[in-house]
Every structure is written in structure tokens, then in C-alpha cells.
């Protein structure tokens, strides 16, 4: 379809989103090379939109999602500095989107995810106190989205992830009591999600185990 309708920008944007989602799947599966390849392919699609003569730029949220995904993969490979630069770049793109439309819930959700990534980079770099602020900022941003829509499963998942990642970082730093408090908040969210019939992703379940809450499977 792309070959037949090269100027179908909506389809191209969806193709980029598909590439980035595939990258996320490969990252979770552990194939980091495939994840990076899909990120690059998604970025190439966005470049195709950039080079079109329509004057339309690819959605900032889609572009940011791809950059965040690449940053996640780079972080897993141990390239924390490169991951930090990418995360900052993506955050700036989302800031532009939110400047134009502060009520853009998709951009707000993506920014909350980005804050978690930035916090993870900071934690790896040894800046746990700053990382904690970013984790909590992510949780608060997600909580505001849930307050607007109590059925927002994605926002609830982000909020739970923020608390679980914080618990993991605190546990690694030997701060067991604070880690338990953060995990308790995460567990309460998981219970609420299950009570409302929401599916808990395998990625979040694995994170719960890593953070020391193995009974959440």
C-alpha cells in the first residue's frame, strides 16, 4: 500500500507506529539488534514524511515514541549517555506538542513514559535522588490522566510501572523500607486494575518480580 500511495501520510504514520511497536516487542523478547533495526526502519518512514512536499511534519508523539524506544534499547545495552540524550530529545518534542495543545492526553501519557525512562537512566548513573523525583513525576502525570478517565488502563499501567521501577531502583540501592512502600502503591494499583477486568502486561508482571514482588503472577 505504501508503494501504491506514497503520499498517504496517515498510513505512513501508522507504519512508523507499527515499526516502533515491533521494536518494543523485540526489546521485551531480548533481541536488542532486532529492536534497533525496527527503530531505524520506523525513523526512515518518518523521514519519508519529512521529505514529502506537503509541508506536514510527522506527529511529534509518534516521533518521540520511536526515540524513547531506541533509548530503552540503548540503556539495556549499557549506553546510558546515548539513552539520556535520546530521552531528552523525545521529551523536547513532546513539550512542543503540549505547548500547542496542553490537553493532548496521548502526549501526556507518552511524556509520563518518558519520565520513567529518564529516571531509569538517572538511577543507573547513580543519581537516585533525582531519579526518584522523575519516577514520582511520572506517577503523578499518569494519576492525573486516570482522574480524568477511570477506565484509562494505559495510564494506570504507567503509574504502576513508575512505582515498580522506583521500588526496584531503591531496592538495588539498599533502601528496602522505601522500596516496600513504593511496591505497596504499585500492588494497590495492580489490584484495582484486576478488579476492573484489566489485563496486566507480561512486561509489568516481570517488573514486579524483579522489584521483589514475585507473588504478583
How high is the mean pLDDT of the chain? 85
Q: pTM of the prediction? A: 0.81
| End-to-end CA, the chain | 41
Task: Report the topology of domain 1-102.
Answer: 1.25.40
pLDDT at 1 over 50: no
**Better pLDDT: 123 or 150:** 123
What whole-number distance in Å separates Cα of residue 75 and Cα of residue 208? 19
Secondary structure of 101-146 as H, E, C letters:
CCCCHHHHHHHHHHHHHHHHHHHHCCCHHHHHHHHHHHHHHHHHHH
78-99 pLDDT, tens per residue? Answer: 888 888 888 888 888 888 888 8
Handedness of CA 33, 39, 42, 46 (dihedral sign): negative
Amino acid at each position: 500500500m505504501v508503494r501504491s500511495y506514497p503520499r498517504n501520510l496517515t498510513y505512513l504514520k501508522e507504519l512508523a507506529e507499527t515499526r516502533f511497536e515491533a521494536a518494543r516487542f523485540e526489546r521485551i523478547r531480548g533481541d536488542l539488534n532486532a529492536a534497533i533495526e525496527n527503530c531505524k526502519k520506523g525513523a526512515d518512514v518518518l523521514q519519508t514524511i519529512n521529505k514529502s512536499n506537503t509541508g506536514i511534519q510527522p506527529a511529534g508523539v509518534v516521533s518521540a515514541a520511536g526515540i524513547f524506544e531506541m533509548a530503552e534499547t540503548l540503556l539495556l545495552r549499557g549506553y546510558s549517555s546515548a539513552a539520556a540524550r535520546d530521552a531528552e530529545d523525545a521529551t523536547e518534542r513532546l513539550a512542543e506538542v503540549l505547548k500547542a495543545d496542553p490537553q493532548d492526553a496521548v502526549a501526556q501519557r507518552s511524556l509520563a513514559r518518558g519520565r520513567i525512562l529518564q529516571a531509569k537512566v538517572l538511577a543507573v548513573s547513580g543519581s537516585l535522588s533525582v531519579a526518584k523525583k522523575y519516577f514520582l513525576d511520572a506517577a503523578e502525570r499518569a494519576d492525573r490522566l486516570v482522574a480524568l478517565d477511570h477506565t484509562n488502563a494505559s495510564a494506570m499501567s504507567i503509574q504502576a510501572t513508575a512505582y515498580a521501577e522506583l521500588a526496584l531502583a531503591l531496592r538495588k540501592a539498599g533502601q528496602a523500607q522505601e522500596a516496600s512502600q513504593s511496591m505497596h502503591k504499585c500492588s494497590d494499583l495492580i489490584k484495582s486494575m484486576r478488579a476492573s477486568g484489566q489485563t496486566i502486561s507480561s512486561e509489568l508482571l516481570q517488573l514486579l518480580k524483579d522489584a521483589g514482588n514475585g507473588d504478583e503472577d
